[in-house]
Amino acid sequence: MSQLFPVSHAPHIRDKSSTNRIMLYVIIALLPTTLFGIINFGFSALLLVLVTIASAVLAEWAFNKITKRKETIQDLSAVVTGLLLALNLPPTLPLWMGILGSAFAIVVVKCLFGGLGQNFMNPALGARCFLLISFTGPMTTYATSVFDKTDAVSGPTPLAILKAGQTVDTLQMLIGTIGGTIGETSVIAILIGAIFLILMGVIDLRIPASYLISFVVFILLFGGHGFDLGFAVAQLCGGGIMLGAFFMATDYSTSPITPRGKIVFGILLGVLNGLFRMFGASAEGCSFAIIFGNLLVPLIERVTIPKPFGKGGER
């Protein structure tokens, strides 16, 4: 018996999950809406997506090099951030603004707060709001879909039309042949990705469902249209709420880890989003609702500590 075996703490086996694999699933889930965005808006959209992803990865690589940290780009989280940011940008945005946004998302929002898992705000949405405030003009000029039969180069999004009191074609919004940011227009493409993520166990329905349901309830109560389901559906299909509910609000680091907290968080987002859309200056509101919700996560977790096994049940 000369051979000595290495010892370690139990458990001595692990399942096959990894951070890397989770990020890969998110990227795969985002592909349908990304592809649709590229078809819907053409080459400029493709270019912006590629540039934003590349600059996000580069920014993380450079940050790690300069601050002499262990390289982390292989975990693919920078790719996810870059891609999500691109999907939240109008396709006509100047490329350098996309690069600036990526750098802001990675360096300021993520890395400076300790990197993956430590950021308190969704990096992509943080960067989007940063760009929105800094470059309001280019950020709110929405190119029309290539399927648009008018000759207009850009025009109001369906949400803006709704806000102005006119009606919109809900079917077009479901398919996504409308103006908007690159990745937010097609509800169907987003849902395909979302179903994939749910089936793979990456996200659960708690946040998206409570978000969307409370949003619809808010719209029906305070939307000013009475009990108008058509209006509520148009509101659901318009703007970034679908992309936000399934892909941004469910961001692990910036949403509560407690099961009940997830539901509280979702309801909060739904109400905030309704509030911003109905009574705010802009027709949108998803990004700000999620970012504001992110800030309240530690508080939500504190009041939703789960009841452990055997307590609260039969004593």
Partner 1 sequence: MGSGTFKGGVHPYDGKELSKYKQVREILPKGDVIYSLSQHIGAPSKPVVGQGDYVKCGQVIAEADGFVSATVHASVSGKVSAIERRLNATGIKVLSIVIENDGQFTSFDFHETADVNTLSKEEIGKKIQEAGIIGLGGAGFPTHVKLTPKDPDKIKYVIANCAECEPYVTVDYRRMIENAEQLIAGMKIVLQLFDNAKGVFAIEDNKPDCIEKMQELLKNEDRIEVQILHTKYPQGAERQQIFAVTGLAIHSKQLPADVGCIVDNAETFFAIYNAVKLGRPLIERLVTVTGGGIADPSNFLIRIGTNFSELLEAAGGFIGQPEKLLFGGPMMGFAGTCTDVPTMKTTSMLLSLLTDEMSALTPTPCINCGRCVEVCPSGLVPSRLAKQAQRKQNADFEKWNGLECIECACCTYGCPAKQPLVSDIKLMKKRILTKKRQQAAREKKEGEAK
Which residue, 112 or 229, is less far from partner 1 as judged by CB? 112
Among residues 19 and 154, whose Cβ is nearest to partner 1? 19
* Closest to partner 1 by CB, 139 or 207: 207
How far apart are CB 169 and partner 1 at their closest, in Å?
A: 39
Centroid of chain to Cα 209: 15
Return d(Cα 314, Cα 171) in angstroms, integer: 51
137 versus 312: smaller Cβ distance to partner 1: 312
Min dist CB 261 to partner 1, Å, is 10
Query: Are 288 and 229 contacting, i.e. CB atoms less than 8 angstroms apart?
Result: no
Closest separation between CB of residue 22 and partner 1, Å?
6
Least separation in angstroms between residue 198's CB and partner 1 is 13
Return the number of the residue (90 or 261) whose C-beta is nearest partner 1. 261
* Residues making contact with partner 1 (CB under 8 A): 1, 3-15, 17-19, 21-22, 75, 77, 115-118, 252-253, 255, 257-259, 301, 305-311, 313-314
Cα dihedral 256, 258, 259, 261, rounded to 10, equals -50
**CB of 297 vs partner 1, minimal distance in Å:** 9
Where helices occur in the chain by DSSP H, the ranges are 19-41, 43-66, 77-87, 95-103, 123-134, 136-139, 158-163, 170-175, 187-199, 206-222, 229-237, 241-243, 259-279, 286-295, 297-303
